[in-house]
Structures are given as C-alpha cells and as structure tokens.
Amino acid sequence: MVTNPPQRKRIISDQEAENISRVEELAYEIKVREVMTSDLISFSPEIKMQEVLEVFRQKRISGAPIVSPLGDLIGIISMEDLIRCLVDMDVDSTINKYMTTKLITILPTDPVIEASKKFVSTNFGRLPVVDKDQKLVGMITKGDINRGLLRALETDYQEEEIRKYRASHLFEDIESDRTSLILRYQIQQGDFDIGGQASSNIKRALIRLGASKQIARRCGIAIYEAEMNLIIHTTEGGVLRVEIEPHQISIDAYDYGPGIKDVDLAMKPGYSTASDAVREMGFGAGMGLVNISRCVDQMKLESVWGKGSRLKMRLFLDSDHKNNESENQKS
Amino acid sequence: MNLGDLVKIVEGKVLTDLFDKNEIVLGGCGADLMSDVLASIEPGAVLLTGLCNPQVIRTAQMADVAAVVLVRGKIPPETTIDLANDEEIPLITSPFGMFELCGRLYKAGLPSLEKSVADQSDFGFE
C-alpha cells in the first residue's frame, strides 16, 4: 500500500510563504512515491475481458496495468475500455484488443504537481509510475494525490500541536531561579506593508507557549499599537523587546528619536501628531497609547525630546492579576 | 449566524482561499479607524470596514476578529488578500454601504460586539 511519507523538516518563514498556499507548496514537496499505490492488481496480456470485468467488480477498482511476464509495462485497461467492450458485447476477446497502449508515465521521484499537470493535460484518470529502467513500480490517481495532500496537512497540524506542547513545557523543563525568554524585533520606520508582523509573531509565540487567548489578545493589541507607533512616529525605527516569564510578560518598545515633546499631552486620548497619510491608513487618531494602557497591567512612557522614547508595558499572568479595567492602576 | 449565512445576507464575494461557511460569527462591529476597532471590538465579531490595506488584517488577527467584510464593493490590494490567506482571516467584499450592511446584519439577528470607548480617560500608568 502507501508508504509513510518521510518527515518534512523544512521550515518556511512567513515571508517566503507570502504568495503560495500550503497545499500548493506540498504539491511540490511530496513525491509521487509517497502517495502512489504500489501493491498493484495487474493483468497479463492474454487474459479475457470477462476476467477484467470480474476483477474490477470484486476489487472495486476502475483501472489496472497490463504487465508482460518479464515485468514490463505494456498497457493500461480502464473502466472506459471495459464499457467499450461491453457495448460491443465482446467480453470473450482478450485484453489486448481494448487496452490503451499509448502510455503517459511518471517517475516515482517526481513531485506530485507533475502528476497533476499530466492529469490535466491528458485527461487520464491514472498514470503508471515507472522507474528509470521502465519497470512498473506503482500507479497514481487523482484520489491518491488528494489523500496524500490531506495526510500531509494533517501531519502539519499535528506538528504544530507538538510544537505547542513542547513550547508550553519550556518553562517547566528548564530549571533556574528565574527563567525568561526574550524576543527582540527590529522595527523599520515607515514600513507600513509589513507593519504588525512582529506583533503577529509575538502573539503566535505566546499561544505556542500556552498563554490564554485573552492574554495573547491583550498582548497582541498592545504590542501592535506600539509597533505602529515605531513605524509612524520615529526617525529610524526602533526595537520591540518582549520578555516572557511564567508569571509576567514585560514589553519594551524603544526608539532613538525624535522623542516626544510633551508626554502628558501624548497620553491624552485623541491627541496625535500623525500625518494625513497615516490617518488614511486607519491610524493616528491619538488612541494608540490609550488602547495600550487598557490592555496591559502596567505602563510607563519615558521620552526625551531629541533623544528617543521608551515605552514599558507589563502584563501579569498570575490568576490574582486578572485584568479588569478597574484593576488598572490609576494615575 | 455562520459565515455562509452572512455572505448571503451581505450578497458578498469571498476573496480568500480558505473559507469555512460553518464558522460562527458572534456579532458585528463597523469602523474605519483601526485603533477604534482594537479598542472596542470583542472577540469573534465580523468587522465591517471601508479600509482595505493590510493593516485591516493585522488588526483583525490581533483582535480575534472572525471575518472582515469590505463595504461599498471595495476590492483590496493583493497584499491584503495575501495576508488574509496567510493569517486565515476570511475576507469578503460586499456591494452595500456600511449603513445598509450594519442594518441588514442587525435585522438578521446579529448583535453588536462593539464596546463603548466612552470611559477613555479611565486609564492608568505608573
């Protein structure tokens, strides 16, 4: 039957994956060998069509290869050929008369996308898989490809689950007086197209580490606003630094300029220095810092005009720190 | 309401590859200001918006938005559709305006999942 696919170790970054779907990708990664059927029902060239009919019915198959006593592939017989034979009421003639000998074959080492292309261009339902010596090693159908892709997607899903499981045990597995995981991201000024990518990665990391949906959401929103601030307001971008510990998440967003002239004014809801272009993108309404403060348990903004700014945020993960707006410290 | 029903009600066209018509939408929120969305939307809502840039999808992802409907028949740039595919956020475009869309969905029984931001002075920092 079908052999187990080898483990695919290739890790694809978000950027690489930008323009291709996972299924398309798998169609290039998976080889014909991994999805083909290799224990074949085959016929010898001298048998009668009556026997083909019986075998098709009993084994519930719709096509089979015809192989010479030496194992060479001679032809293919399909349901369509059988129907032609039945219409002619000619089941006593040999398979030779009805089999297709115009053969399109594929190599076991070809990616399944090649098989898909051949299915489309030839309209055939099955392709014989032959090795370099032209010996038949298997057959592949569209159904085999679909099953193979589904299985691979499932494996991907399981791998994500395992990754999540391993990550969530990270802190338990490592012994120290104080363990923390630090993630750092460089944020480029003005790079709106990939704006939010760091936040997206951080949110995914938190979920993998076993954070609750609420924590991941609050953290994601706060960091996203901070990331957009770095993109919109700084002279040369800045850094997002996230330190994850079992009991808290500390986030630092800092930049090297231009700094904020009046921090109190910047904290005021609705106050913004953003340009019209930024506003057209749905930002710059002076709500960013307000939003951040609602999502985190502690927040501190320091800035020196001409030097830069540093926004420190903290979320507590202990159960007695369940974030409610009312629990936020009042200024 | 599930996504399949929603698409019918808004007479929408699905722009993303991945689309599960059985996915449940808990409510709705309509806004063009992403900071407002981040501040006010509750998880599991459909976001109705006139904004088409990739930041809509990022916002949706951060705020656990169930689906995004672009109003007034807007077609977003490729980068937005690509990101929606990557992040598995269903993206739909509808020919109706924001007002009509909100009305149609509300009439069909979809509740609002938009919190008030009126208490915006009530925040604290160290």
State which of A102, A134, A149 marks the end of a domain.
A149
Tell me whether A267 touches chain B (CB under 8 Å).
Answer: yes
Size of interface A-B (CB pairs under 8 A): 113
Question: Scanning the structure block, which residue is given the tokens 């297709």?
Answer: A100
pLDDT for the residue A19: 46
Phi-psi region of A37 (alpha: psi -120 to 50; beta: other; left: phi over 0): beta
Kind of pairing, strands B45-49 and B27-30?
parallel
Nearest-by-CA chain B residue for A16 = B86
Per-residue confidence at A68, pLDDT binned at 50, 70, 90?
A: confident
Pick from A203, A281, A328: which is nearest to B124 by CB? Answer: A328
Q: How confident is the model at residue A324 (pLDDT cuts 50, 70, 90)?
A: very low
A74 in the same domain as A23 = yes
Give the amino acid at A160. E
Please indicate, yes or no, whether residues A211 and A317 belong to a single structural domain of this protein. yes
pLDDT tops 70 at residue A118: yes
Residue at A65 is within a domain: yes
Task: Return the H-helix or E-strand segment holding B54.
Answer: helix B54-62
Among the ranges A190-194, A296-300, B18-22, B122-126, which has the highest mean pLDDT value? A296-300
Cβ contacts of A17 within 8 Å, gap of 6 or more: A25, B86
Q: Is residue A10 part of a domain?
A: no
The partner residue sitting opposite B120, judged by closest CB among A228, A269, A300, is A269
Q: Are residues A117 and A228 in the same domain?
A: no
Report the CATH number at residue A260: 3.30.565.10
pLDDT confidence band for B60 (50 / 70 / 90): very high
- The verdict on A190 and A140 lying in the same domain is no
Tell me the per-residue pLDDT of A157-186, one tens digit each, with 9 for 90 and over: 787 777 777 777 778 778 888 889 999 999
Q: Which two tokens stand for residue A88?
A: 């002619």
Same domain, A139 and A23: yes
To the nearest 10°, the Cα dihedral for B98, B104, B107, B113?
-40
In a domain, A300, yes or no: yes
> Are residues A320 and A192 located together in one domain of the fold?
yes
Chain B contact probe: residue of A23, A24, A160, A193 with most B CBs at under 10 A:
A193
Instruction: Give a yes or no: residue A196 inside a domain.
Output: yes
How far does chain B reach from its first CA to its final CA, in angstroms?
42
Residue A73 maps to a domain = yes
A128/A141 Cα distance (integer angstroms): 9
What is the number of structural domains in chain A?
Answer: 2
The closest alpha carbon to B53, from A73, A265, A231, A172, belongs to: A231
Q: A131: Cβ–Cβ under 8 A, 6 or more apart, which residues?
A: A107, A108, A137
More confident residue, A17 or A315: A315
Same domain, yes or no, for A270 and A220?
A: yes
Taking the Cβ of residue B61 and every Cβ of chain A, the question of whether any pair is shorter than 8 Å is answered with yes
**Coil/strand/helix, residue B2:** strand
Q: What is the per-residue DSSP string for A115-141? A: HHHHHHHH--SEEEEE-TTSBEEEEEE
| Cβ–Cβ < 8 Å for B65, B59 | yes
The pLDDT confidence band at residue B88, using thresholds 50, 70 and 90, is very high
CATH (domain of A77): 3.10.580.10
Co-location of A47 and A141 in the same domain: yes
Highest mean pLDDT among A82-96, A105-119, B66-80 belongs to B66-80
- Is A8's pLDDT higher than 80? no
* Residue A191 shares a structural domain with residue A145: no
Nearest beta carbon to residue B39 from set A192, A291, A301: A291
In a domain, A3, yes or no: no
Question: Complex ipTM, two decimals?
Answer: 0.84
What integer is the mean pLDDT of A77-88?
Answer: 91
Of B125 and A290, more confident: A290
Domains along chain B? 3-106 (3.40.1390.20)
Q: Using DSSP bridges, classify how beta strands B91-93 and B13-14 pair: parallel, antiparallel or unpaired.
A: antiparallel
| Bridge partners, residue A312, by sequence | A252, A300
Whether the Cβ atoms of residue A255 and residue A237 lie closer than 8 Å to each other: yes
Whether A16 shows a pLDDT value over 60: the answer reads no
Residue A164 lies in a domain: no
Cα(first)–Cα(last) distance of chain A, in Å?
A: 69
- B43 and A217: CB-CB below 8 Å? yes
Task: Identify the domain containing residue A305 by its residue range.
Answer: 180-327
Which range has the top average pLDDT, A12-26, A198-212, A273-287?
A198-212
Is there a single domain that holds both residue A115 and residue A191? no
Helix segments in chain A, DSSP class H: 22-29, 32-35, 49-59, 79-87, 112-122, 142-168, 170-173, 197-208, 213-233, 263-267, 276-280, 288-295
Cis peptide before A258 (omega within 30 of 0): yes
Inside any domain, residue A166: no
Q: Sheet harboring B27-30: ordered strands across?
A: B13-14, B91-93, B67-70, B45-49, B27-30
Share of chain A above pLDDT 90, in %: 37
Is the pLDDT at B74 greater than 80? The verdict is yes
Q: Are residues A244 and A291 in the same domain?
A: yes
Closest among B116, B108, B94, B87 to B47, alpha carbons compared: B94
Judged by CB atoms closer than 8 Å, whether chains meet at A282 and B38 is answered as: no
Residue of B nearest to A331 (CA): B124
Among A45, A36, A42, which Cα is nearest to A106's?
A36
| Type and span of the H or E element at A65 | strand A63-67
- Pair (A136, A233) in one structural domain: no
B64 vs A281: CB contact, 8 Å cut-off?
Answer: no
Query: Nearest Cβ partner of B55 from A221, A281, A325?
Result: A281
